[in-house]
Amino acid sequence: MAYDVFGIENPLIDLLARVPEDFLARLGVHKNTMTLVEQERFQHLLKALEGMHIHAEPGGSCANTMLGIAQLGGKTAFCGKAGGDAYGRIYIEKLRGAGVSPFISTDGHLTGSTVILITPDAARSMNTYLGACQDLGAADVPLHALRESRRLYITGYLWDTAGQQEAARLALRTAKAEAIPVAMSLSDPFCVHRHKADFRAILREHVSLVFANREEALALTETDNSQEALRALRDWCGGAVITLGASGALIAEAGETIYVDAFAAKPVDTTGAGDAFAAGYLHGKSVGASPLQCGRLGAYFAARVIEKVGPRLEGDVRAQLAPVLGSPRA
């Protein structure tokens, strides 16, 4: 197989800024969630940040996970749509330079961007202008590359426009026809509330492994505790991971139900924590690790990511994760 994991989602330029707590209230920003914004609102947020330091780098939830797997030595591909502007060109170059095969088409719109506001408690509040991302359609999915992949990874963010849904559904049908396992991230609580019925149907019909944080899991399953939510998700798609932040994670897969402890960390920015967990977990599966080993790798990856600004680690990531990568078969 050419790729361990093939991902589809939004190529977004992340613009991260550290702000005081009252900054969110003044601008009417919902804390610790992702909100879709129009171009006018996006520009308003940028104007409010004038004079502050803004850290810019390629992002998007699925791309962060594909990059994380590549840093661990896996082979990944990423499909999406960017603008034919400088940001779009930089995005493609950065992916290729990091070892991710880019299948990114471009059009005349601006490349999508996310303003990520980080408060002193390390919470991140995301405001996403999709730009060209929302123009992704079924014709943009390279089915030949998907058929050469061991796993498909999608996220709930693809359900926010009709064209993206068409692309995702084509990929899901193709994966099913080719017996390619599918993993899915629920993405965001607001996303779950917007598309609850669709997500439930997709998990039952196409997905073999779902990633969710506690709030997302409770919202989708309409339960009031993590244990019931885990059972419901497992019954729908066979494998489920519920991340619990500083409290660790619950995993139900391969006939096992496992609790994984969180690793000690000094949070600076929680952006990308869930993406890093998914990267560690999926890489573990690619190399034959057990669910426990996969969970420990994901948890350790997430713990190291939240100790810095931005969604990814830099430098020799395998060396930084050596304490867990040294586990048997990980």
**What is the arithmetic mean of pLDDT over 23-44?**
92
pLDDT in tens, 194-243: 999 999 999 999 999 999 999 999 999 999 999 999 999 999 999 999 99
27: confidence class by pLDDT, cuts 50, 70, 90: very high
Pairwise CA distance, residues 282 & 224, whole Å: 28
Percentage of residues in the chain with pLDDT exceeding 90? 84
Q: Indicate if the pLDDT at residue 110 is higher than 70.
A: yes
**Residues, the chain:** 330
Return the bridge partners of 12, or none: 59
Q: Indicate if the pLDDT at residue 330 is higher than 50.
A: no
Residue recorded with tokens 């990520």? 116
Reference 195, options 139, 154, 247; nearest CA is 154
Q: Indicate if the pLDDT at residue 329 is higher than 50.
A: no
**What is the arithmetic mean of pLDDT over 125-154?**
96
What pLDDT is recorded for position 310? Answer: 84
Contact (Cβ atoms closer than 8 angstroms) between residue 153 and residue 207: no
Which residue has better confidence, 61 or 57?
Answer: 61
**What is the arithmetic mean of pLDDT over 290-301?**
96
What pLDDT is recorded for position 142? Answer: 98
Return the bridge partners of 7, or none: 78, 153
Percentage of residues in the chain with pLDDT exceeding 70? 98
What pLDDT is recorded for position 328? Answer: 42
Torsions phi, psi of 128, nearest 5?
A: -110, 125
CA 213 to chain centre: 12
325: confidence class by pLDDT, cuts 50, 70, 90: confident
- Torsion sign, CA atoms 272, 168, 219, 212: negative
- 285-292, long-range: CB < 8 A, 24+ apart: 285/151, 286/4, 286/5, 286/69, 286/74, 286/150, 286/151, 287/329, 287/330, 288/329, 289/327, 289/329, 289/330, 290/254, 290/329, 291/251, 291/253, 291/254, 291/256, 291/258, 292/251, 292/256, 292/258, 292/260
**Burial class for 73, CB neighbours closer than 10 Å (0-12, 13-18, 19+):** middle
CA 272 to chain centre: 7
CATH of domain 5-9+62-109+136-325: 3.40.1190.20
Which residues does 230 contact at the CB level (< 8 Å), separation at least 6?
217, 240, 242, 250, 252, 257
Q: Which amino acid is at 86?
A: A
| Domain boundary assignment for the chain | 5-9+62-109+136-325
